[in-house]
Amino acid sequence: MITETSTPVNFEYPETQRMVAEAARSFAQQYIQPHVMEWDEAQTLPVDVLRKAGEMGFMGILVPQSLGGSGLGYHEYIAILEEISRVDPSIGLSVAAHNSLCTNHILMFGDESQKERWIPRLASGEWIGAWGLTEHNTGSDAGGMNTTAKKDGDTWILNGAKNFITHGRSGNVAVVIARTGEKGDSRGMTAFVVEKGTPGFSSGKKENKLGMRASETAELVFDQCRIPDANRLGPVGEGFIQSMKILDGGRISIGALSLGIAKGAYEAALKYSKERVQFGKPISQFQGISFKLAEMATEIEAAELLVHKAAFLKNSGKPVTQLSAMAKMYASEVCVRVASEAVQIHGGYGYTKDFPVEKFYRDSKLCTIGEGTTEIQKVVIAKNILKD
């Protein structure tokens, strides 16, 4: 019951969120839109555009101003990702991996000298960041990893390979999680920072992908790679737990990316349905098409509420594991459904590269896989519901 003293839920977005959304929209239209299909075709990561994003403050969104960042919160972060992804989800994915995985790991678990050493260059976009958890044989079962880090005096020697790494080739610095203890022990992994150019550290195979093709995905290879103990992030044995906390935030960013894709595809389908005339009237006038639009709009609205609630919890420092998994799972499944229906509404034209929905359809699928599959999100949600 609503009484006079009840505080209603506020659905107005903060002013700063609207301002950064506007800035991200014009950035995407000016620097990304003209090249979307060219980068997709060539599978080119436009590093210069990421540097430009750095000038706009989009590569250090969550970083405090004292370390050269924009000092913004999750509400602004998801607004930027959504706007960029409406134009090109590949660039949204790159910005997300850089911010919420690599930079955030150093920011959350690095000591002051580590932050001063790496964060300003990441926040400005001068350096591009990568984050290595996944391996060839350990995707969902991240804790079963085989890459090892062995202590040798004041150094660590890394051996193994990380797979499906965003910016695996172009990244200047990578946060890498490696086994420092027993296999199967969640306290047997530790996080390290490895800079490009370190002897024994190289890039391997670059993936040829269905979608998100302008976001580079490649392997990181470690062969007797020696790094100083000063590159260790946090205590020995905390790497897996740290990664789970990083993914709690990262999954919100995949939810935002999914929203961008869903809105981009929906808007294209709405426009097309009003323009395309069949049987003497716009196809939007047929119930079969208008009901699709109604369902798409409703699902987007619901996904948006989940993503924004997760951002609110994260910003407030409240537990977010369950909500971020829910937001990521639901928004990513919605974006696949919406992108598929958008192609359907376009008919044959939707299956061609002349219309943006073809690319949204290909890009959307990654969202139900990256940063934990839909099935893993259900595991996370169920564990949280059933604990205690």
Ligand X SMILES: CCCCCCCC(=O)SCCNC(=O)CCNC(=O)[C@H](O)C(C)(C)COP(=O)(O)OP(=O)(O)OC[C@H]1O[C@@H](n2cnc3c(N)ncnc32)[C@H](O)[C@@H]1OP(=O)(O)O
By CB under 6 A, residue 140 contacts ligand X: yes
By CB under 6 A, residue 133 contacts ligand X: yes
Which listed range, 116-124, 167-175, 305-313, 378-386, lies at the site for ligand X (CB under 6 A)? 378-386
| C-beta separation of 129 from 101 below 8 A | yes
For residue 318, list its beta bridge partners: none
Residues 284-323 within binding reach of ligand X (CB under 6 A)? 321
Which listed range, 20-28, 194-202, 238-246, 302-310, lies at the site for ligand X (CB under 6 A)? 238-246
Residues 109-128 within binding reach of ligand X (CB under 6 A)? none
By CB under 6 A, residue 378 contacts ligand X: no
- x/- contact string, 9-28, with ligand X (CB under 6 A)? --------------------
Nearest approach in angstroms of CB 165 to ligand X is 7
By CB under 6 A, residue 248 contacts ligand X: yes
Residue type, 245: K
What is the spatial distance between Cα 195 and Cα 126, in angstroms, rounded to a whole number?
Answer: 14
By CB under 6 A, residue 142 contacts ligand X: yes
143 CB neighbour count, 10 Å cutoff: 19
Nearest residue to 77 via CA among 107, 100, 54: 100
Determine whether 371 is an active site residue.
yes
Binds ligand X by CB under 6 A, chosen from 52, 117, 245, 378: 245
Half-sphere exposure (CA, 13 Å, Cβ side) for 233?
A: 31
Nearest approach in angstroms of CB 123 to ligand X is 21
DSSP annotation of 138 reads B
Closest to ligand X by CB, 116 or 141: 141
Catalytic residue among 76, 295, 371, 375: 371
Binds ligand X by CB under 6 A, chosen from 115, 209, 362, 365: 209
Please spell the DSSP secondary structure of 22-81, one letter per residue: HHHHHHIIIIIGGGHHHHHHHT---HHHHHHHHHTTTTSTTS-GGGTS----HHHHHHHH
Contacts of 123 (CB under 8 A, 6+ apart): 54, 59, 60, 63, 67, 68, 69, 70, 103
* Cα R_g (the chain), whole angstroms: 21
Q: Quick one: tokens of 58?
A: 């989009």
**How many residues are recorded in the chain?**
388
Closest to ligand X by CB, 94 or 198: 94
Residues that bind ligand X in the complex, under the rule CB under 6 A? 133-134, 140, 142-143, 164, 186, 207, 209, 217, 241, 244-245, 247-248, 321, 366, 370-372, 376, 379-380, 383
Q: Active-site residues: which are they?
A: 371
